[in-house]
């Protein structure tokens, strides 16, 4: 499965916390210009790392419970979950190279 998935307050535990592969969560909102700019970068990353990494988007306005639980106060925020635990967080726009550098120790290879 390649490309970007989506998660919600209702499906977060299954989609992210119980995922069998490391999962990068993109906390975003439609009105956020940097969030929209990152979308193609994350799509590319999801395709390049298919099988080793899952990338999902979570609209923080529509899913405030999860955003609050993980202290997401700024967007975009990327959080990498491995075996249900947050292993890395990036706040604000990040170029693809920075994202790859930060997730590499956690996804192997």
> Which residues carry out catalysis?
32, 35
- Cβ burial 83-97 (10 Å sphere, 16+ → b, else e): eeeeebebeeebeee
E-only strand ranges, 19-76: 23-28, 54-59
Whether the Cβ atoms of residue 61 and residue 29 lie closer than 8 Å to each other: yes
């Amino acid at each position: 499965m390649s490309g970007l998935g989506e998660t919600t307050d209702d499906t977060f535990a299954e989609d992210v916390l119980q995922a069998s592969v490391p999962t990068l969560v993109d906390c975003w909102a439609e009105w956020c210009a940097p969030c929209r700019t990152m979308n193609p970068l994350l799509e590319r990353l999801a395709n390049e790392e298919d099988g080793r990494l899952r990338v999902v988007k979570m609209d923080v306005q529509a899913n405030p419970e999860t955003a609050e639980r993980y202290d997401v106060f700024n967007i975009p925020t990327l959080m990498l979950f491995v075996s249900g635990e947050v292993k890395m967080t990036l706040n604000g726009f990040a170029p693809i190279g920075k994202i790859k550098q930060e997730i590499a120790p956690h996804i192997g290879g």
